[in-house]
Amino acid sequence: MIALLGQTVRDEVVHPDGRAEVRCGGAPVFAARALSAAGVDGVVVTRGADELHGDVAVAGLPVLAGPAGATFVSRLVLHPDGHRDHEIAALGTPFSAADIEGWAASTLTDASTVVVGTQWREDVGPDALRALARPGRRIVFDAQGLARPGLGIVEPAGPLDPTWLAGVDVVKFSDAEAEALLGGLDAAHLGRAGVPVVLVTHGEQGADVWQAGDAAPVRVPARRIPRLADTVGAGDMFTALFAAALDAGDAPVPAAERAAAGVAGILELRA
C-alpha cells in the first residue's frame, strides 16, 4: 500500500480570466487524485485546513487527519502561458517524529511506500523521516519544500543539506529547485543529493531520471497539453504515480514514463 503524507493546503487562486477561488491544495490531494485515477490503493495522512478535508476524501482514498494548530496558505496568480506568481502566506504545523510514531502510526503500518510531500523547509524534518524509515519500506520525497525557507514570494533557495534526505530512496526536484539546492542538473550535481534515485521535472519538457552511478540522467518526454494554464499539482501527481509504478515492480525509467503518461491524461481534463 502507498501512503501519501503531507499538509492539506488552503490554495487562494486567481485564474487567468480574473476569477478568484479558494480550493483544497497540497501534495496529498493531487497525489490522491492521481492514484485514484490509476486505480491504485493508498491512504492519505495529513493535517491542516480541516474545513477542506472533505475535498481530499473526494479523491476516493481513506484520509487520516491529525491535529494541527495552523494551516498552510498558498496564494497563486495563474497566467495564460502556464506560469504563476506564488506566495506562501502562512505556515502549517510541521510533521514530527512524535506524529509518525503516535497518531499516524497505525495508518502507516502497512505502507510499503510512503510519498512525502513538503511545502516548506521545516515541514517534514530529518527526525520525522527517520521515524518513517523501516526495512522494506520505500521513501519517495518531493523536495519542493526544501527550497522554500519560509513565508513570502516563492523563489527556490539553497543549498541542500544532505542530512535533510537521510533514509530517502527517491527524491524529486523541479529544475529550478535542483539548480538552487544542488547547483546544477548534471550527474555530478544530482549526486550531491545522496539519494539512489533522483527525479528532475521540466514541466512540458518532461523529466530526468538519474540513478546513482549513471554517467548522465535519462530524459523522459511529456505530452504537451495545448491551452493548459492550470498545471498546479502536476509535480505531486507525477511523484505519486512514479512511486506507484516502482511499488508495482517497474524500474525507474519505465516508472517515469508511466507517471508522465498518467499526469498528461489527468491534465488533459483541465484544458
pLDDT tens, 145-163? 999 999 999 999 999 998 9
Whose grid coordinates read 511529456?
222
pLDDT in tens, 23-79: 888 898 889 989 998 999 999 999 998 887 777 787 789 999 999 999 999 998 988
Cis peptide before 217 (omega within 30 of 0): no
Query: What residues does 22 pair with on adjacent strands?
Result: 12
pLDDT, position 123 = 96
Q: Which CATH architecture has domain 2-268?
A: 3-Layer(aba) Sandwich (3.40)
Q: Where are the domains of the chain?
A: 2-268
Phi, psi of 171 (to 5 degrees): -125, 140
Q: Is there a contact between 146 and 195 (Cβ–Cβ < 8 Å)?
A: no
Please classify residue 16 by burial: count the beta carbons closer than 10 Å to its beta carbon, then call 0-12 exposed, 13-18 middle and 19+ buried. middle
Cis peptide before 62 (omega within 30 of 0): no
pTM summary value? 0.91
pLDDT in tens, the chain (271 residues): 999 999 999 999 998 898 999 988 889 888 998 999 899 999 999 999 888 777 778 778 999 999 999 999 999 898 887 788 999 999 999 999 999 999 999 999 999 999 999 999 999 999 999 999 999 999 999 999 999 999 999 999 999 998 999 999 999 999 999 999 999 999 999 999 999 999 999 988 899 999 999 999 999 987 765 454 445 678 899 999 999 999 999 999 999 999 999 887 776 655 4
Q: Is there a contact between 169 and 196 (Cβ–Cβ < 8 Å)?
A: yes
All 3 cell numbers of residue 52?
477542506
pLDDT, position 164 = 93
Phi, psi of 71 (to 5 degrees): -115, 140
